[in-house]
């Protein structure tokens, strides 16, 4: 039986981050095993039979960590990526409202605009009076922060679509960097003065690989690893926690001192077979995502111009977000095709099932009614994909479950990390995932503390003292 110091399960961003760290240390025996025939996990890219490149949902590249940003430049080269300024908008009341919504209320029709602005001011006054109790769930957070007008016009219907989950049953502890919190003075100033304020948040600018989609980076990273330490097509089917042995589908066994698993936390519990852990983690919730890639006429891309993506709160439309994917990189459209491409996302969960049959037609009809397409005839190509694990839902009990499960696993030298390994959406992006793996591997080797998985708020604060940096 092969014996290693560190075994890593899964070659998505987390597993590759771990491998990158392990590979920096001479004399350490480690192995990375991935069930799929390719690396990248949810961040891989797929070239379909017609030559279109697709991501598993719109992936944009922004970073909280110098080590990650620098690696991007090193592996793709300074000419290997395209820099974008975010140009995003929300389709609301037949208008396009630039993102962030609350700073562009002037784009709304009169009555809705007044409701949104009045609600915002009322919420600010209530908060300033100190008479309001802290919100108990995400629904209350939305109304308390944005006021009832914006809550009804955008925030509630949009989030109900993305999460496919009751907002009353979600926490708001994750919102810090993911939800743009309004400043009523800016909202009033902008509404009266028509100014544009679109710079909020960590993804106000982002980069995208020039070719090969988001997955190009993860393939480039995997290419830096010793081939004998990366086993593709190798699925873990059980973990013997007591004896520290993982068994794979091909019958091989690997003994380890430390195990970094990036499979979803409930899957790891089942691999271990501990009934209490299985029961605990079965209470975690997630949503799935249907991704519909559309090849469209060049005129659609010309009309969208520099628009990067669009949000759709209207419950009548099946999709929550549409990405102008050929704008990210023209190479996402096959050579010789004079056209553009759109990437459409539809969320699904146990409480909100979606019929895959006919979904693409439903999506195309929705794009026409929302004014993204002039007619269904502008669609020249359709690609569909469904991912079971899309968003780890921050339910009210999530932290209690995750903290208990990670502690139980950690005491057996098993570090469950990554978007679904640690189930923390607030540190579930590519850069966070890479760092979770990078830090878990460092902990296995040196015992040092991990910041990203245990201190999301601090991590996302980009405090200069932490050496967490800008994009470059």
User: Residue 426, interface with ligand FAD (CB under 6 A)?
Assistant: no
d(CA 79, CA 96): 33
Of 272 and 408, the one with the shorter C-beta distance to ligand FAD is 272
According to the binding rule CB under 6 A, does residue 43 interact with ligand FAD? yes
Within 1-30, the residues that bind ligand FAD by CB under 6 A are 9-15
Which residue from 71, 216, 310, 430 is in contact with ligand FAD, where contact means CB under 6 A?
A: 430
Contact pick of 215, 313, 366, 428 for ligand FAD (by CB under 6 A): 428
Shortest Cβ distance from residue 186 to ligand FAD (Å)?
A: 25
361-391 as b/e, with b when 16 or more CB fall inside 10 Å?
ebbbebbbebebbeeeebbbbbbbebeebbb
Q: Binding to ligand FAD by residue 287, rule CB under 6 A?
A: no
Rule CB under 6 A: which of 401-420 touch ligand FAD?
418-420
Verify binding: residue 308, ligand FAD, rule CB under 6 A. Answer: no
Cβ pair 14, 262 in contact under 8 A: yes
Count of residues that interact with ligand FAD, criterion CB under 6 A: 37
Per DSSP, which regions of 81-232 are E strands? 81-85, 88-92, 95-98, 205-209, 230-231
Q: How far is the CB of 281 from ligand FAD (least distance, A)?
A: 14
Taking residue 463's Cβ as centre, other Cβ atoms within 10 Å add up to 10
Can residue 429 be called a binding residue for ligand FAD (CB under 6 A)? yes
**DSSP secondary structure code for residue 426 in this structure:** G
If the CB atoms of residues 190 and 436 are measured against ligand FAD, the closer one turns out to be: 436
Rule CB under 6 A: is residue 35 a binding residue for ligand FAD?
yes
Which of residues 14 and 106 has its CB atom nearest to ligand FAD in the complex? Answer: 14
Residues 266 and 284 sit within 8 Å (Cβ to Cβ): yes
Secondary structure element (H or E) that encloses residue 253, with its range = strand 253-261
φ, ψ at 10 (rounded to 5°): 105, 125
Of 160 and 297, which has the nearer Cβ to ligand FAD? 160
| Cα separation values, 383 from 50, 52, 259, 326, Å | 9, 9, 37, 14
Residue closer to ligand FAD by CB (options 289, 442) is: 289
Q: Closest by alpha carbon to 209, among 79, 305, 66, 42? A: 79
> Least distance from C-beta 321 to ligand FAD, angstroms?
8
Q: Nearest 5°: phi and psi at 266?
A: -70, -30
212 vs 418, which CB is nearer to ligand FAD? Answer: 418
Half-sphere exposure of 244 (CA within 13 A, CB side): 19
Q: Residue 329, interface with ligand FAD (CB under 6 A)?
A: no
Part of the chain binding ligand FAD (CB under 6 A), chosen from 52-60, 82-90, 147-155, 328-336: 52-60
Per-residue x/- marks for ligand FAD, 82-121, CB under 6 A?
Answer: ----------------------------------------
DSSP state of 153: I
Three-class SS of residue 188? Answer: helix
Least separation in angstroms between residue 236's CB and ligand FAD is: 4
For residue 434, the minimal CB distance to ligand FAD (Å) is 8
Interface residues for ligand FAD in 225-284 (CB under 6 A)?
A: 235-236, 262-263, 267
Residue 226: CB minimum distance to ligand FAD, A? 19
Piece of the chain touching ligand FAD by CB under 6 A; list 92-100, 164-172, 252-260, 422-430: 422-430
392 and 401 in contact (C-beta within 8 Å)? no
List the one residue from 4, 18, 19, 56 that touches ligand FAD (CB under 6 A).
56
Q: What is the dihedral of CA 446, 9, 37, 282, to 10 degrees?
A: -150
Query: Which of 377, 318, 328 is closest to 54 using CA atoms?
Result: 328
Closer by beta carbon to ligand FAD, 90 or else 260? 260
C-alpha to C-alpha distance for 380 and 200, rounded to whole angstroms: 35
- Region from 38-46, 83-91, 100-108, 163-171 binding ligand FAD, contact rule CB under 6 A: 38-46
Residue 33 interacts with ligand FAD (CB under 6 A): yes or no: yes
The helix/strand/coil state of 27 is coil
- Around Cβ 29, how many Cβ atoms within 10 Å? 14
The footprint of ligand FAD (CB under 6 A) covers: 9-15, 33-36, 41-43, 56-60, 235-236, 262-263, 267, 289, 345, 387, 390, 418-421, 428-431, 433
């Amino acid at each position: 039986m092969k014996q290693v110091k560190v075994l890593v399960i899964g070659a998505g961003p987390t597993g590759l981050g771990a491998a990158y760290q392990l590979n920096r240390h001479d004399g350490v025996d480690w192995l990375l095993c991935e069930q799929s025939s390719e690396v990248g996990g949810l961040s891989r890219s797929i070239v379909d039979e017609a030559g279109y490149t697709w991501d598993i949902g719109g992936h944009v590249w922004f970073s909280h960590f110098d080590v990650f940003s620098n690696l991007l430049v090193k592996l793709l080269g300074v000419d290997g990526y395209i820099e974008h300024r975010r140009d995003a908008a929300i389709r609301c009341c037949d208008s396009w409202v630039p993102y962030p919504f609350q700073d562009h209320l002037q784009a709304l029709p009169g009555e809705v605009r007044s409701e949104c602005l009045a609600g915002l001011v009322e919420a600010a006054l209530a908060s300033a009076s100190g008479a309001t109790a802290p919100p108990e769930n995400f629904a209350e957070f939305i109304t308390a922060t944005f006021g009832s007008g914006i809550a009804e016009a955008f925030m509630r219907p949009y989030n109900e679509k993305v999460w496919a989950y009751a907002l009353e049953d979600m926490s708001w502890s994750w919102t810090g960097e993911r939800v743009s919190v309004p400043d009523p003075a800016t909202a009033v100033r902008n509404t009266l003065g028509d100014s544009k304020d679109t710079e909020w948040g960590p993804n106000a600018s982002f980069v995208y690989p020039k070719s090969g989609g988001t997955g190009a980076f993860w393939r480039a990273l995997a290419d830096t690893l010793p081939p004998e330490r990366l086993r593709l097509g190798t699925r873990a089917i059980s973990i013997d926690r007591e004896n520290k042995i993982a068994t794979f589908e091909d019958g091989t066994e690997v003994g380890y001192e430390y195990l970094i698993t990036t499979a979803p936390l409930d899957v790891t519990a089942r691999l271990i077979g501990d009934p209490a852990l299985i029961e605990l983690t079965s209470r975690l919730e997630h949503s799935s995502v249907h991704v519909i890639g559309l090849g469209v006429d060049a005129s659609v891309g010309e009309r969208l111009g520099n628009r990067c993506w669009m949000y759709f709160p209207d419950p009548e439309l099946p999709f929550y977000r549409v990405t102008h994917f050929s704008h990210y990189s023209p190479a996402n459209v096959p050579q010789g095709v004079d056209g553009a491409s759109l990437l459409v996302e539809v969320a699904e969960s146990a409480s909100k099932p979606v019929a895959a049959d006919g979904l693409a037609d439903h999506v195309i009809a929705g794009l026409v009614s929302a004014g993204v397409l002039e007619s269904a005839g502008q669609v020249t190509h359709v690609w569909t994909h469904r991912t079971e694990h899309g968003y780890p839902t921050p339910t009210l009990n999530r932290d209690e479950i995750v903290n208990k499960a990670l502690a139980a696993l950690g005491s057996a030298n098993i570090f469950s990390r990554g978007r679904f390994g640690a189930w923390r959406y607030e540190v579930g992006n590519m850069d966070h995932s890479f760092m979770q793996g990078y830090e878990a591997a460092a902990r296995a080797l040196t015992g040092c503390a991990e910041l990203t998985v245990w201190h999301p708020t601090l991590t996302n604060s980009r405090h200069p003292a932490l050496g967490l940096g800008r994009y470059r």
